[in-house]
């Protein structure tokens, strides 16, 4: 079997959104299609490892933003190359809220969906969801998965590298200082909080003698 044949099936690129308690989460997806007219059903497939997927399993609701070919490549990297478990991805883009869900402001179209049925496979889970609301946004040409693979991909990778570089530069680093002897613990990965058994290697003072200090850039 030549699985490359499956790449001949047309897919788009979409930003999936969901709401975890009060926090917005999301990721980039490609496998979305309209599956029925009456009722209006959309099929969505997600990788099983995604955090957003786990939120949809709990809340049964999600948003889809259809993106254009003119989308800044960073948006795809932002939603595709990092996890909502650790990053507030929606804070990095212009977004709007509708029906308690996040949508890209520059979306060509948006859908609010409610999950009706779920089919889990080893790698992916397929959701059949009813479209509760649909709207048209900006005018433009939809970004297809093929266009992404053929040209867009490199700029997405570059945008992400740039983002990581800037993030590293602006990240506040901390060090622990012994207020008795001035010893500084400034390892590459400093403790968020010192262990209770911590002892100053110079003067023997305990954890309470240490102060967390922001490192000046
Ligand atoms: Fe000390």
Give yes or no for residue 171 having a pLDDT over 80. no
Residue 118 in tokens: 């779920």
Q: Considering Cα of 187, then 192, then 194, then 196, what sign does the dihedral take?
A: negative
Q: How far is the CA of 184 from the centre of ligand 1 (A)?
A: 8
Residues 60-98 have pLDDT tens digits of 999 999 999 999 999 999 999 999 988 899 999 999 999
- For 113, counting Cβ atoms within 10 Å of its Cβ (0-12 exposed, 13-18 middle, 19+ buried), the class is buried
Question: How many angstroms is it from 204 CA to the middle of ligand 1?
Answer: 6
Residues 90-112, mean pLDDT to the nearest whole number: 97
Residue 183 CA to ligand 1 centre (angstroms): 5
**Does residue 190 surpass a pLDDT of 80?**
no
Taking the centre of ligand 1 as the mean of its atom positions, its distance from the CA of residue 23, in whole angstroms, is 41
- What phi, psi does 127 have (nearest 5°)? -110, 135
Cα 206 to ligand 1 centroid, rounded to whole Å: 8
User: Once rounded to an integer, what is the mean pLDDT over residues 134-143?
Assistant: 96
CB proximity list for 204: less than 8 A, separation 6 or greater:
none
Query: Could you tell me the pTM of the whole model?
Result: 0.79
Interval between CA 170 and ligand 1 midpoint (Å): 30
Nearest CA among 65, 48, 66 for reference residue 57: 48
Distance of CA 78 to the CA centre of its chain: 6
User: Residue 153 in 3-state DSSP?
Assistant: helix
Residue 86's SS3 state is coil
Residue 210 CA to ligand 1 center (angstroms) comes to 8
Peptide bond between residue 177 and the one before it cis (omega within 30 degrees of 0): no
| Contact present, 56 and 29 (Cβ < 8 Å) | no
Q: What are phi and psi of 11, to 5 degrees?
A: -130, 160
If you measure from the C-alpha of residue 173 to the centroid of ligand 1, how many angstroms do you get, rounded to a whole number?
Answer: 21
* pLDDT tens-place string over residues 49-59: 999 999 999 99
pLDDT of 191: 76
pLDDT of 109 above 90: yes
| Interatomic CA distance for residues 74 and 166, integer angstroms | 13
Residue 216: which pLDDT band, with cuts at 50, 70 and 90?
confident
Using the mean position of ligand 1's atoms as its centre, give its distance from the Cα of residue 171 in Å.
27
Task: Determine the Cα–Cα distance for residues 159 and 170; give it in Å rounded to an integer.
Answer: 17
Q: What is the 168 CA–ligand 1 centroid distance (Å)?
A: 30
CA of 208 to the centre of ligand 1 (A): 11
Whether 26 and 87 have beta carbons less than 8 Å apart is answered as no
- Output the CA 213–ligand 1 centroid distance in Å: 15
């Amino acid at each position: 079997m030549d699985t490359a044949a499956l790449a001949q099936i047309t897919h788009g690129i979409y930003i999936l959104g969901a709401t975890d308690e009060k926090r917005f989460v999301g990721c980039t997806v490609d496998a979305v299609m309209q599956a029925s007219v009456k009722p209006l059903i959309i099929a969505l497939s997600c990788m099983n490892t995604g955090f957003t997927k786990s939120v949809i399993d709990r809340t049964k609701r999600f948003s889809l933003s259809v993106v254009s070919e003119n989308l800044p490549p960073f948006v795809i990297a932002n939603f595709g190359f990092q996890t909502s478990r650790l990053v507030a991805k929606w804070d990095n883009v212009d977004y709007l809220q509708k029906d308690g869900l996040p949508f890209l402001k520059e979306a060509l179209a948006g859908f609010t969906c409610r999950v009706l049925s779920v089919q889990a496979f080893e790698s992916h889970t397929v959701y059949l969801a009813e479209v509760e609301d649909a709207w048209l946004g900006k005018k433009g040409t939809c970004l297809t998965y093929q266009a992404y693979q053929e040209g867009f991909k490199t700029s997405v990778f570059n945008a992400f590298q740039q983002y990581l570089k800037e993030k590293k530069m602006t990240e506040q680093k901390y060090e622990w200082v012994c207020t008795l002897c001035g010893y500084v613990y400034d390892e590459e990965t400093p403790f968020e909080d010192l262990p209770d058994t911590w002892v100053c290697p110079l003067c023997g003072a305990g954890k309470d003698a240490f102060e967390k200090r922001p490192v000046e850039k």
